[in-house]
Amino acid sequence: MIGNRRRKILIVGAGEAARMVASEIACSAEINASVEGFLDDDAGLAHMKVEGFPVLGRTTELESVVAERDIDEIIIAIPTAPGRFVRDIIRRCRRAGVAYKIVPGVMEIIRGTVHIDQIREVRVEDLLGRETVSFDFEAAAVRLTGKKILVTGAGGTIGSELCRQLARVKPASLMMLGRGENRIFAIEQEIKADNPGLELVTVINNLREPERLYKVIARLAPDVVYHTAAHKHVHYMERDPEEAVLNNIAATINLARAVEECGTERFVFISTDKAADPKGVMGATKRLVEMYLSKINPDSACRFMTVRFGNVIGSTGSVVPLFVNQIGRGGPVTVSHPEATRFFMTVKEASLLVIQASVSGKGGETYILDMGEALNILDMARDIILLTGHEPDSEIPIEFTGLREGEKLHEVLIGDDETLEPPEPGEKIMIARSPAATGDTFRADVDGLIEAARTGDRDGVLRLMSEIIPGFGNDPGTGS
């Protein structure tokens, strides 16, 4: 037990961020802690002193240094550390039986010096294997200030975070549309409390009744629309392709037609990496909408843009909260396949990417975030088990369930028929260029697909999808 004695802290890293942390701890009597020294893998720092504190060894010596020095807490202070390094340090801390925390990422560092109150528990996003992406929010805000902004699916994970960020740009009004009244109520109360004086408008509507929707859009007259509403669970949409078409395709087309007629300036559609070479129905519905918007954009006064996401950490139904719930029940944690990989991004990255695309796009683009390497789901499951204070396999078992309907073993960001424009220097946003939807019958074919869904013609839905979307086949679980 520590009692009233000063906590002994060991800092991983001896760079600028680590030195700031050490200096602040040394200068603050309120913290009641002392820095015992640093661990750093730079051979040139071996046995040296940094800011008056000794470099006690390499990171591989963490366990022995903790034992020799009776360390109470580790602070990971390497803002550019890759995810694999953070994972290794966490495992060493666990074996040593010592508490651990982490400093902010590099983007937070460059906005100001590191302070003790910024040091926090390690989060899942620290294990992504890359620095989370930041955008020039202020530059984007200038383009949106004073605009009437509509967010569909505003009660969802992405929609609600988008509303939080958009409230900061001081729009003329923020309009939040959704199907679930309880979620809309919750985000309305939150935004209202945090942004007094902001004009908020809430609408309960499902977008699937075109005449009613047109009246709603005509009344709201939005300048900018962010369309996040959609069904997203791959296996459910595989079982109910008619519902997927009606909600993800027909409803989006209803909205696109309404905003065109009502003078909206910009429309941002939220897509998914599953739309790249889609194998499942959900990805196919998103790909078809991408094609549709690209088709109508050149002849429209409204600028239509698409943003493709990877998996959003913490979103409803995503693996992170699923794993946490399973761990809370004592396991097992279920993983589809030991080799399955996915791209991940944080909810804040997702919302800021959408805002950036909405002001940068000229129309017709498909924006993709450079998300680094895809992560192995099994490794992520083990990491989350460790973060919750348990040991994988021995304390929390892991079971393999097999790929579900419509799932791929590996997701990709762009399709075989697409080309990727590299980002500008220092940027993390790329543009995927797709062949334009061709043929005079494209719109008629889409209308036929929607009619097949309305009449419950499942075979017709799948056949028409295969005819409209190049390479699509209802072949679940295949591809890489």
Q: What are phi and psi of 420, to 5 degrees?
A: -115, 125
Give the C-alpha separation, 388 to 330, whole Å.
Answer: 11
User: Of 274, 279, 408, 428, which is the active-site residue?
Assistant: 274
Active site residue 274: yes
Give the C-alpha separation, 362 to 421, whole Å.
Answer: 15
Amino acid type, 348: K
Task: Reduce the secondary structure of the chain to three states and give it as a string.
Answer: CCCCCCEEEEEECCCHHHHHHHHHHHHCCCCCEEEEEEECCCHHHCCCEECCEEEEECHHHHHHHHHHHCCCEEEECCCCCCHHHHHHHHHHHHHHCCEEEECCCHHHHCCCCCCHHHCECCCHHHHCCCCCCCCCHHHHHHHHCCCEEEEECCCCHHHHHHHHHHHCCCCCEEEEEECCHHHHHHHHHHHHHHCCCCCEEEEECCCCCHHHHHHHHHHHCCCEEEECCCCCCHHHHHHCHHHHHHHHHHHHHHHHHHHHHCCCCEEEEEEEHHHCCCCCHHHHHHHHHHHHHHHHHHHCCCEEEEEEECEEECCCCCHHHHHHHHHHCCCCEEECCCCCEECEEEHHHHHHHHHHHHHHCCCCCEEEECCCCCEEHHHHHHHHHHHCCCCECCCECEEECCCCCCCCCECCCCCCCCEEECCCCCCCEEEEECCCCCCCCHHHHHHHHHHHHHCCCHHHHHHHHHHHCCCCCCCCCCCC
Give the C-alpha separation, 283 to 277, whole Å.
Answer: 8
Are 267 and 227 in contact by the 8 Å Cβ rule? The answer is yes
Are 143 and 158 in contact by the 8 Å Cβ rule? The answer is no
Of 196, 192, 145, the closest CA to residue 166 belongs to: 145
Give the C-alpha separation, 208 to 295, whole Å.
Answer: 21
**Tokens in use for 312?**
């959003």
Which of the residues are catalytic? 274
